[in-house]
Amino acid sequence: ETGVTQTPRHLVMGMTNKKSLKCEQHLGHNAMYWYKQSAKKPLELMFVYNFKEQTENNSVPSRFSPECPNSSHLFLHLHTLQPEDSALYLCASSLETQGNTEAFFGQGTRLTVV
Amino acid sequence: GENVEQHPSTLSVQEGDSAVIKCTYSDSASNYFPWYKQELGKRPQLIIDIRSNVGEKKDQRIAVTLNKTAKHFSLHITETQPEDSAVYFCAASRPLGNQFYFGTGTSLTVIP
């Protein structure tokens, strides 16, 4: 257990649904990330939050909407998704300092859009 | 932004042999290079990392080398065991912002 927890573990949703993915960490980290992992593709960085402020939006479509209410929690709100959005969504956290440090990953949410 | 390429995409070795995975990166400002191992159905976990001020780092059967001039780094696993079978990802990160850019992954199979 790395201290990063994601819920739900699995999610099936229709294209017209609205759902949210949740991530929380109690490691004292101040940076949190959303990654998308599709088959045969690299881990795609979606969003980065440092001290609750979004510092990176990697050209992600607006149907994905992140929210970071505090340094311990991160959400990904989903609406009107497409089948090609089906993937494993991984949350990670790290301690943002002048020197780069290890990113700890959650177990991921396996999302299927039907 | 950073572009990380990883080769090979699949690798099969006999138990006891060595395995080498190579990555290249494009951004000369990148200074941190972690390697993650992801077992089937599990989360990626850090196995070793290297910073740009060193050329090589070793941890038991695992070693990583870095060539800053050529902008490439490699993972070496010696005396491979079946439990080494997993997908391995390299990554590169710039300073002042933990924005990890990952390679496409290498699926390693160790044949008993």
pLDDT digit string, tens, across residues A53-89: 777 777 899 999 999 999 899 999 999 999 999 999 9
Per-residue pLDDT, A6: 97
CA B41 – CA B37 distance, rounded (Å)? 12
Bond from prior residue into A8 cis (ω within 30 degrees of 0): yes
The answer, yes or no, to whether residue A2 has pLDDT greater than 90, is: no
Do the chains contact at A101 and B98, CB–CB below 8 Å?
yes
Bond from prior residue into B8 cis (ω within 30 degrees of 0): yes
Q: What sign does the CA torsion over B60, B41, B74, B65 have? A: negative
Per-residue pLDDT, B97: 60
CA A17 – CA A5 distance, rounded (Å)? 23
Task: State chain B's mean pLDDT as an integer.
Answer: 93
CA B83 – CA B96 distance, rounded (Å)? 35
For residues A66 and A74, the answer to whether their CB atoms sit within 8 Å is: yes
B2 vs B6: which has the higher pLDDT: B6
A11 vs B95: which has the higher pLDDT: A11
End-to-end, the C-alpha distance of chain A in Å comes to: 31
B91 vs B2: which has the higher pLDDT: B91
The answer, yes or no, to whether residue B24 has pLDDT greater than 90, is: yes
Do the chains contact at B102 and A43, CB–CB below 8 Å?
yes
Q: Which residue of A has its CA nearest to B105?
A: A42
Share of chain A above pLDDT 90, in %: 66
Per-residue pLDDT, A97: 59
Per-residue pLDDT, B12: 98
Per-residue pLDDT, A42: 78
Minimal CA–CA distance to A104: which of A46, A96, B7? A96
Q: Collapse the DSSP code of A35 into the 3-class scheme (helix H, G, I; strand E, B; otherwise coil) and give the result.
A: strand
CA A102 – CA B49 distance, rounded (Å)? 8
State pLDDT tens for residues B41-78: 889 999 999 998 889 999 999 999 999 999 999 999 99
Provide, as residue numbers in chain A, all residues whose Cβ is less than 8 Å from the Cβ of B44.
43, 90, 105
Q: Which residue of B has its CA nearest to A91?
A: B43
Mean pLDDT for A32-52 is 86
The mean-pLDDT minimum among A5-9, A37-41, A88-92 falls in A37-41
Measured CA to CA in angstroms, residue A17 lies from A22, A47, A105, A114, B42 at distances of: 16, 22, 27, 10, 27
For residues B4 and B101, the answer to whether their CB atoms sit within 8 Å is: yes
Do the chains contact at A107 and B43, CB–CB below 8 Å?
yes
Structure token digits, residue B71: 């902008």
Confidence of residue B107 (pLDDT cuts 50, 70, 90): very high
B57 vs B94: which has the higher pLDDT: B57
Give me the residue from B32, B36, B45 closest to A100, CB to CB: B32
